[in-house]
Structure 1
Amino acid sequence: MKWWIGLFMGIVLYSCKTGRVAFNPQKKFSLQQLQADYHLFRNILEERHPSLYWYTSKAVIDSVFDNGYLQLKDSLTEPEFRRVLTKVATQIGCGHTSVRASKKYTKYLDTLKTKDVFPVYVKTWNDTMAVAYNIFKNDSSLVRGALIDSVGGKPVKTVLDSLRSYIPADGGNRTAKDQRLSTGTYFGALYTWIYGWPRDLRFGFRDSTGTSHERLIRPYRPPVDTSRKSHAVSKQQREPRSRRLQEERSLIIDSSGRFATMELNSFSEKLKLRSFFRQSFRKLRRQKIPNLVVDLRSNGGGRVGNSNLFMKYLSNRPFKLADSLYARTRSSAYSRFISNDLALKWFMRLATHKKTDGYFHFTWYEKHYFRPKKKNHYEGLVYLLSGGNSFSATSLVIGGLKAQQNIIVLGEPTGGGAYGNSALLIPDVTLPATKIRFRLPLFRMVRDKHLPKDGQGVQPEILVQPTIEDIRRGRDYKMEKVKEQIRSSEK
């Protein structure tokens, strides 16, 4: 056997052997590894984050970093270290700066055959928390609309304040944090990630009569599906694209012909929004629909080009993306840890230039005015539904259109900051020892320099918040309010 054939077979066999080594989620990293990754985490944020001291002074942020470092006293697992990093990152007050699991840990979670699931979904607002759904349907007391008073023996307000300290949001936006807690399994996942499953986790709650109860909460473990995939499932797999597109963006014209509802859950580049907008607004014009409801409550943002295109169909005057858009630096001493940093560096060299303030400005966006569409431009009355999940580019849309006379913003404040945010380019950074990742926005965007820099979201003109009765009845109270407004406007 030739030597190179033997070497090749040895490499293949070794690769197969190492590939079978199981991932250990309980692996602990040494204190030295954690400290090295933490120093890198801090150094990169201090070097490149454009809004590190936007809402909090440098002295306070320095103290936050110092206190986080003091939490590292011994070896930790990846989730334990992520909790430290997440709490530090949250205090920056940037909704785009978040800590993520390593790729291997994420893959491990995806391949688990059974996962303990927190069985209760909640809706929370203004320090109020109610049951939105209970997986254990035979539980006749802890039902939708039950008002929760305590979790694990702690008052709801105490629990919510604790959980919010791990949720990144622009300027600490409470509406954004509460909406995250109210989305699907998020509350339970965050609670158990921070506190684990205690032996005795009890909910104190009140039923519809105001009577107090206490219920022991146990995890739900879904049954393992060992059945083979059927022909029907395979057929569905051939058509996921069209169904997914319909779920993410749709236009439905009410049978009365008085209004249409456009559900727009993302401005992602993958949703074929250019053709969707063209066809939808053409249909609205041809059928002379006088009222348009645009549901942006679940729209977390996406591509700025798509959000600008949407605005062109509604805006009655030329508009800018932002008053200012700039980065602190165009290069990094830590480039090898930042994804695609070489390409980003060249892009920024071509697109930005340094001004007297010392920052690198994207002047094209600062100066360019986008003109409204002439063809199929919508002239009717528009209702924009907003909420805590209306984030990033969606906040830019709602903030940019709010002052227009024929546009009414209805719902709750947006999750994204009205004044601006840190975004545009957001590469991942991978810490070398633990492989934990965090998102690093490179540009600070000030949408409207005349607004207060308080981190609050775009405020609706008609505030619509839930009530316990709304939750109990499963009402879409914001959509009902819109329909009421449309009926009133036609009288």
Structure 2
Amino acid sequence: MKQLSILFFGEHRPIIFQIIWLLFRLHAGISIAIGAGYSKLSMPEWFTQQVGDIGFTFPSPFFWAWLAVWGEFMGGLLIALGLFTRLAAFQLAFQFFVISFIWYEAPEPITGMYYQQLFFWVFVLITVIGGGKFSLDVFIVKRLNLKKIPIALLATLPVLLSNSLLAQSSSVVNSTASSAISVTFELDMNGIADPVEKETVGIRGNISPLSWEKTYPMTDKDGDGIYSAIITFDSKKDRQLLRYKFVYGSVVWELEQLANRVLALKETPSVVAGKWNVYVPFMENQRLSAAQLREEFDLIKTAYSAIHPGLYRYNSEAEMASNFKDLEAFLQQDRTLSEVYTAYSRFLAKIACGHTYCNFYNQPDEVEFPLFQQANRVPFTFRLLERRMIVTHDLSENPRLEGTEILRINDIPVSTILDSLVLFVKADGGNDAKRWYDLQVTGLGSYEWFDVYFSLLFDIQPNAMLEVQAKDLKTGGIFNTSVAAMTVQARKAMLTGRYPELKTAEPWQFFLIDEQTAMLKLTTFTTWNFTMDWKGFLENAARELKQKQIKNLIIDIRGNEGGADEALGYLAKHFIPAKIVKKGAHRWLRYKKIPDALRSYLSTWDDSFFDLENHVVPAAQGYYRRKTDDPENTVLSSGKNAFQGQVYLITDSGNSSLTFLMAQLLKENDAAMLVGQPTGGNRKGINGGMIFFLNLPYSRIEMDIPVFATFPLTDQPDEGITPHILVKPHVEDILQGKDTELEVIKQRIKQGR
């Protein structure tokens, strides 16, 4: 029995091993019990569906999901306690074997699903070694002399698991037989300029039998230029979304630098026809049902009502109820993806929050590709001055539009187009200057508001010819021309190719204008995306200012929407000579704990924000505040070791969030002379500080929900920050490439003011 005891419990191993093994067992057990099991004890629908998709359907997916959840929760606790350790570890090893090697279509033993595979081997190891000296197993065997109980339990384990394996195997076999889906892919290769060898045409994708590394061949048996292949998929594998592209040669990809084609295997037709480099959105052919949209509506209403802190900041409860009602009414019938995205965008814009929208940057391929990456963008860039569309760069094949005012597009007055689009642009409160600013097209952004909603609202098809009426601002003559729509990527490549001065290597620049004046241009504060050492960059700039005894510093934040708070603190430390005091404000949120029904649809970068019950206290008007938040004034920077000359800050309506705060702080503390146009943001308060991402289950659209609302202690006007020197750009300045704001500052310095 002593040898058997050592084999099963290993209590005679060295004491240092026993201590380390105890800590290892505690960590593995508690982490799986709390992190995996406890979070699913409410049996969320998504997990039951996931279990069913793997093939565990007899007697029901719920039965197997229930076993898995309690197996994780109780199994983890048993491992932590060292009670029936091997039994608990063995069943968890089995679970993670299923997750690692059955759930995913083509698992890779080394690099694929490494997190889950690591836990699989952890529980295999615990199964082999057992609980160790510091476990209840040893206590039972040694102290209570119940030697046969754990051994008997362990002996029954293979029988129990073999029965479950047989049931599951039978379920998998039966479900696989019924879930095989055959799809005929057809590809029209007619009109391809490059010579194509027939035997090299094929398809690659993410679900077996397709892969991204090897081409699945397609054939053209009758020589009509239409290639085809019949491919059989198991729809019970993966997440039912096939991502794929057509290829030929070794290897030429279609839709280069664009997102993948996407198909929902459960809903796909038996024949999927495509044309090389032309994408037809799968959701446009497979409309979202009214039942699916009603479910998404309930999710949206629940999430925004529970979380959004500014829902009633610029809307009364009656107005918000009406907004919900309008959206619900629109979703009472089947809709296309573009219709749904447009409706959701209009609803969110009514909240009047600068951090609330269907975030362009967070959409999955199946939304981004059809809505954002089609060749239906205008082939020019423009500024908006008093709602006039002034072309700054014409990138069409026969450029005639640069320096003109666009009057009509497809016989629709520009004023009508702009009045329609501005209703979809996010901004804080009634600060419409930010909305109009964002409707401009710079050509340098990956996503631009005009691009997205002009094509959606006015049905601009890919590769369409746009009929444009323009006015020559030099001669006053009016003329008509046709221009071909293009993709965002093609327009950006054309823009930076024709105008290389627009292509900057870094988002920040520092240079001397003359012996007395330096310029610091900061296009964004999203420092988490930087490749440059931004702190070192600022330190070097501050050092150069001091060494060269520069008297005037111009900080240009035009077009900068904000980003990391740390960037503002670093700027103040090095470049702002005055003491910066941030006035007290309420920083409130709506919830203590995210409802369980929402958790599986939400994500964020800090999971601690899902449960704040121990970190918040009640505030006024039904809000909560964090215990650590203090509404009193706070000193952000002393100004003692900073640049000691005159600071000018150039602002415009693109400034919001952090740059709104920067303009506000520098003006309130008399720390800089503000020059330019009023900022975005809003003095009545803005939302942000933390964002939840709501991922909708059927349309797969992502929406942003801010967590915190920052409200001033006293009521403020519904507007941005007005600069000390208000500069109004003129059409003539744009045509001449004149930087009006910079010229005003230079003239002021020259006059010694």
TM over 0.5: yes
State the AA in 1 paired with 2:437: Q
Tell whether 2:276 aligns with 1:12.
no
Q: For 1:374-426, what per-residue CA distance to the aligned partner results, in whole angstroms no more than 9, with x for missing partners? A: 56312211111111221210100101111344511111111222332100001
State the AA in 2 paired with 1:413: P
Bigger Cα displacement from structure 2, 375-384 vs 393-402: 375-384
The answer to whether the Cα contact below 8 Å between 2:562 and 2:656 also exists between their aligned partners in 1 is yes
Q: Which residue of the other structure, out of 299, 302, 324, is the alignment partner of 2:563?
A: 302
Distance in 2 of aligned mates of 1:111 and 1:72:
23
Distance in 1 of aligned mates of 2:709 and 2:105:
48
Q: Which residue in 2 is equivalent to 1:59?
A: 318
Distance in 2 of aligned mates of 1:352 and 1:296:
35
Aligned-residue offset at 1:453:
4.0
SS in 2 for 1:197: coil
SS in 1 for 2:511: strand
SS in 2 for 1:196: coil
Unaligned runs of at least 5 residues, structure 1: 225-242
* Counterparts in 2 of 1:205 and 1:116: CA distance versus 1, 3 Å: closer
Alignment of 1:122-161 (within 5 A): 122-136=382-396, 138-140=398-400, 142-144=401-403, 146-161=404-419
Aligned-residue offset at 1:65:
1.6
Number of equivalent positions: 460
Q: Which residue of the other structure, out of 303, 324, 334, is the alignment partner of 1:44?
A: 303
* Counterparts in 2 of 1:464 and 1:368: CA distance versus 1, 3 Å: closer
Distance in 2 of aligned mates of 1:55 and 1:384:
29
SS in 1 for 2:735: helix
Aligned-residue offset at 1:31:
1.1
User: How high is the sequence identity, in percent, across the aligned residues?
Assistant: 23
SS in 1 for 2:298: helix
Aligned-residue offset at 1:193:
2.5
State the AA in 1 paired with 2:655: S
Q: Which residue in 1 is equivalent to 2:602?
A: 338
Distance in 1 of aligned mates of 2:453 and 2:668:
37
Tell whether 2:517 aligns with 1:253.
no
Q: Which residue in 2 is equivalent to 1:233?
A: none
* Counterparts in 2 of 1:10 and 1:379: CA distance versus 1, 3 Å: closer
Aligned-residue offset at 1:253:
2.0
The answer to whether the Cα contact below 8 Å between 1:311 and 1:372 also exists between their aligned partners in 2 is yes
Q: Which residue of the other structure, out of 177, 180, 185, is the alignment partner of 2:435?
A: 177
Q: Which residue in 2 is equivalent to 1:481?
A: 744
Tell whether 2:356 aligns with 1:97.
yes
The answer to whether the Cα contact below 8 Å between 2:580 and 2:639 also exists between their aligned partners in 1 is no
Distance in 1 of aligned mates of 2:570 and 2:633:
14
Q: For 1:317-355, what per-residue CA distance to the aligned partner results, in whole angstroms no more than 9, with x for missing partners? A: 241265111101122222221104742134x45654323
RMSD: 3.1
Q: Tell which structure's C-alpha radius of gyration is larger.
A: 2
State the AA in 2 paired with 1:485: R
Tell whether 2:629 aligns with 1:367.
no
Aligned-residue offset at 1:173:
2.2
Q: Which residue in 1 is equivalent to 2:17?
A: none
SS in 2 for 1:67: helix
Distance in 2 of aligned mates of 1:79 and 1:50:
28
Aligned-residue offset at 1:433:
1.9
Q: For 1:3-52, what per-residue CA distance to the aligned partner results, in whole angstroms no more than 9, with x for missing partners? A: x99x9699539942355665142232111101211221122111111011
Distance in 2 of aligned mates of 1:196 and 1:82:
14
Distance in 1 of aligned mates of 2:488 and 2:291:
39
State the AA in 1 paired with 2:417: V
Alignment of 1:18-29 (within 5 A): 19=242, 22-24=261-263, 25=281, 26=284, 27-29=286-288
- TM-score normalized with structure 2 length: 0.56
Q: Which residue of the other structure, out of 451, 468, 481, is the alignment partner of 2:731?
A: 468
Aligned-residue offset at 1:80:
1.8
Distance in 1 of aligned mates of 2:741 and 2:346:
33
Q: Which residue in 2 is equivalent to 1:316?
A: 578
Which gives a bigger RCO, structure 1 or 2 (Cα 8 Å, sep 6+)?
A: 1
Distance in 1 of aligned mates of 2:410 and 2:741:
32
* Counterparts in 2 of 1:484 and 1:451: CA distance versus 1, 3 Å: farther
Q: Which residue in 2 is equivalent to 1:430?
A: 695
Q: Which residue in 1 is equivalent to 2:641?
A: 376
Q: Which residue in 2 is equivalent to 1:353?
A: 617
* Counterparts in 2 of 1:350 and 1:440: CA distance versus 1, 3 Å: same
Moved over 6 A (4+): 7-10, 221-224
Unaligned runs of at least 5 residues, structure 2: 1-96, 108-179, 181-206, 210-232, 234-241, 245-260, 264-280, 491-502
Distance in 2 of aligned mates of 1:131 and 1:276:
35
Q: Which residue in 1 is equivalent to 2:331?
A: 72
